[in-house]
């Protein structure tokens, strides 16, 4: 275990001293604490170490301690929890085998843990035995040991006197808090572990449950300022609209941020057909016409509900594209600017559906406002090829467009035909093709997420709760990948 000096020098004035007369004390920043008495030298070491470990635990950081006892002196690093590393140690062979002179208080070092035996009784000089070197703690490996000179014995008194004259350094109260900020690991709620927890046996969550919790935490964040997501693919039937609905539902559900799904088709899109309709028929053109009022400082925030369609179950709003029968109006770049300005005043997350024409003015202006690009693909070759060309077009433009392409999230769905259920061999082929497509995009974008086939995404209104659990989990992973780009 290696320890950097900056970690252990924060509290340098810790000393653990055992004297020849069997008394001991631990000094922390000038404050002395009497060490509980013990029957042997090792007892005193253990008791002194307990005080030092308690200090390290209180500080929640390693501390360096100077140790002295009748057998030697040195320095240790003591970690919260009791792990100890030896920095330096110098035994006192001359004093370990002879009795201390009467009336001479010899300060000696302490440390607490090597399984040292009781001090050897004094022996006569003529029968002196060979010196046995010992260290109260194992030394650090050579490559991680902290280098520090050991002061000779005859300098002990001057060194202690100088330390006594040094100003006492205390931690500022501004740097101290009794609040615990570390996250608490909640018990398992899923699977057999969750069942045992509900029966009274607290179980830690599985790796899969921890991964899901991390994805939920990611999509639950709040970001400074609004964020705009563009969902693009030149080819129709590539799952753009289901992707917009699912991302909107998950981000609104977990983040609690005001979220709007905007159908930015140049003429008439299908987002309104796959979501709930409100009590009016207004669309993006009505919002643009009322933009002056909506952007007025005196306008109440609730006025936006006149133009969007709220999703009662999934808690996000939908701004529909123009649905007039003639279809004679194409949204311009300037109108995209106006609508985006209005929406980012009332919403923090704007998720844009798009048409199939990357050359259209509203498509290109959408990209200018985008923070995160999402490219949906189904397990059909022409959908994947259209996605590749879309990314290639953006990359060739350079600047902001190219950065969006490099950081895009590709979402590969196993479904191949929205109007046909898949079973047996068809589903196996779709899975294999989805994996092949995912592998193909992997080197060129920031993230690729696969979505399993789910008939609930095939036709009609899309509801998050109607999906199978595996599909919900996959879309959560997709939303987390998108949120990481914010």
Region 328-351: mean pLDDT is 94
252-285 pLDDT, tens digit per residue, is: 999 999 999 999 987 778 899 999 999 999 999 9
Nearest to 291 by CA among 353, 229, 335, 225: 335
Q: Are strands 14-19 and 107-109 parallel, antiparallel or unpaired?
A: antiparallel
Return the axis-axis angle of helices 240-255 and 469-483, rounded to nearest 10°.
Answer: 80
What distance in Å separates the CA atoms of residue 234 and residue 385, rounded to the nearest whole number? 9
Q: Is the dihedral of CA 424, 430, 433, 434 positive or negative?
A: negative
**pLDDT per residue as tens digits for the range 175-219:** 767 776 666 789 999 988 889 888 888 899 999 999 999 999 999
pLDDT at 79 over 50: yes
Q: What is the pLDDT of residues 280-308, one digit of tens each?
A: 999 999 999 999 999 999 999 999 999 99
pTM of the complete model: 0.64
- Nearest 5°: the CA angle 180, 85, 159 is 100
Residue 419 has pLDDT above 80, yes or no: no
In angstroms, what is the C-alpha Rg of the chain?
Answer: 35
């Amino acid at each position: 275990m290696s320890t950097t000096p900056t970690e252990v020098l924060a509290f340098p004035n810790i000393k653990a001293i055992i004297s020849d007369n069997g008394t001991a004390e631990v000094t922390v920043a000038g404050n002395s604490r009497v060490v509980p008495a013990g029957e042997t030298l090792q007892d005193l070491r253990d008791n002194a170490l307990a005080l030092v470990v308690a200090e390290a635990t209180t500080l929640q950081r390693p501390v360096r301690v100077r140790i002295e006892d009748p057998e030697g002196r040195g320095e240790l690093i003591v970690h919260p929890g009791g792990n100890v590393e030896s920095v330096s140690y110098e035994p006192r062979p001359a004093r370990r085998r002879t009795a201390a002179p009467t009336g001479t208080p010899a300060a000696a070092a302490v440390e607490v843990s090597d399984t040292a035996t009781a001090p050897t009784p004094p022996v006569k000089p003529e029968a002196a035995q060979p010196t046995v070197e010992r260290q109260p703690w194992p030394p650090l490996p050579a490559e991680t040991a902290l280098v520090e000179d050991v002061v000779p014995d005859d300098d002990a008194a001057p060194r202690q006197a100088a330390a006594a004259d040094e100003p006492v350094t205390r931690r500022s109260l501004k740097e101290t808090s009794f609040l615990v900020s570390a996250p608490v690991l909640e018990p398992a709620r899923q699977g057999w572990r969750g069942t045992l927890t509900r029966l009274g046996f607290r179980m830690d969550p599985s790796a899969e449950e921890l991964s899901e919790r991390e994805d939920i935490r990611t999509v639950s964040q709040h970001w400074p300022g609004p964020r705009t997501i563009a969902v693009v693919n030149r080819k129709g039937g590539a799952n753009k609209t289901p992707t917009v609905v699912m991302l909107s539902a998950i981000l609104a559900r977990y983040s609690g941020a005001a979220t709007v799904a905007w159908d930015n088709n140049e003429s008439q899109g299908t987002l309104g057909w796959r979501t709930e309709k409100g009590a009016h028929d207004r669309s993006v053109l009505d919002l643009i016409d009322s933009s002056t009022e909506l952007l007025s400082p005196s306008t109440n925030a609730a006025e936006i509900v006149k133009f969007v369609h709220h999703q009662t179950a999934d808690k996000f709003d939908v701004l529909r594209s123009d649905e007039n029968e003639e279809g004679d109006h194409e949204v311009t770049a300037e109108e995209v600017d106006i609508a985006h300005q209005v929406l980012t005043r009332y919403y923090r997350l704007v998720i844009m559906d798009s048409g199939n024409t990357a050359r259209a003015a509203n498509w290109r202006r959408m990209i200018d406002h985008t923070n995160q690009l999402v490219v949906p693909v189904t397990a059909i070759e022409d959908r994947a090829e259209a996605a590749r060309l879309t990314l290639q077009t953006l990359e060739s433009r350079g600047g902001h467009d190219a950065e969006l392409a490099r950081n895009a999230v590709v979402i590969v769905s196993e479904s191949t035909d929205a109007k046909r259920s898949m079973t047996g061999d068809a589903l196996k082929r779709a899975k294999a093709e989805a994996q092949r497509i995912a592998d193909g995009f992997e080197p060129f974008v920031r993230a690729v997420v696969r979505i399993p086939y789910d008939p609930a995404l095939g036709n009609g209104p899309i509801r998050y709760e109607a999906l199978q659990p595996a599909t919900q989990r996959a879309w959560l992973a997709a939303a987390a990948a998108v949120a990481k780009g914010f």
